[in-house]
Amino acid sequence: MPKVRFRGAELRSITGNMEEGGIIYRLHFVATLSDKVSEVMNWDVLDEKGMLREGLENPKLTGILRTDQITLEPNGLSGEEKEKHSLQFEVIEVSGFQAITKKGDESREVYLKFTARSNVSFSPAEKWWKKWGQSPCLCIADGVLQASITEEEEEEEETGGTTPDTPETPGEPKKRGRRTKQAEFFTEEEKKKMAPASVE
């Protein structure tokens, strides 16, 4: 399984909502979008200078990392101190990715917004946040990249298009076209274990 390392990650907020099956907590992050993360997640959105390709403006990025935990390691620590102050937090998935550039940012660095969803108590994350606040950290997620969809298919969804092999039936809502593709680094055994794809 790929290990995705989100560098310069800042935990911006924690929210909770009652959903089917109980409360779901969401940890909202902003991190640096590196070419390595883009490659692992199959996002072809950065140019050779590490900036968003021309014509892209804060694009939403597809894909879901199915995982059972994330690890937060505060920057600037090493050895025992890093281990002592790191947080391992149980999560269901990491998703809701979006590439952004901050207005007024002279370096024009590209950032990544994403959300870690959890159904366990957020108390450990809250304690960690009270100590480290929005200080940059390394966020590590081990998981399976479940699915991604192409830009053309996403446009089709937004416009309510139908797939060629699913013609419209009078009185029925339009069906959205969605084809999934798995990352090449998965073995056939891993692919068999993957759940049906869904993108929020």
User: Residues 2-51: pLDDT tens digits?
Assistant: 689 999 999 999 999 998 878 999 999 999 999 999 999 999 999 998 88
Residue 140 lies in a domain: yes
Residues 78 and 52 in one domain: yes
Residue 54 lies in a domain: yes
Residue 199 lies in a domain: no
Residue 198 lies in a domain: no
Residue 23 lies in a domain: yes
pLDDT tens profile 92-131: 999 999 999 876 556 578 999 999 999 999 899 999 999 9
Residues 132 and 189 in one domain: yes
Whether pTM exceeds 0.85: no
d(CA 197, CA 191): 11
Residues 128 and 142 in one domain: yes
Residues 161 and 122 in one domain: no
d(CA 128, CA 191): 35
Q: CA nearest 34: which of 11, 5, 60, 56?
A: 5
Q: Which domain holds residue 174?
A: 149-181
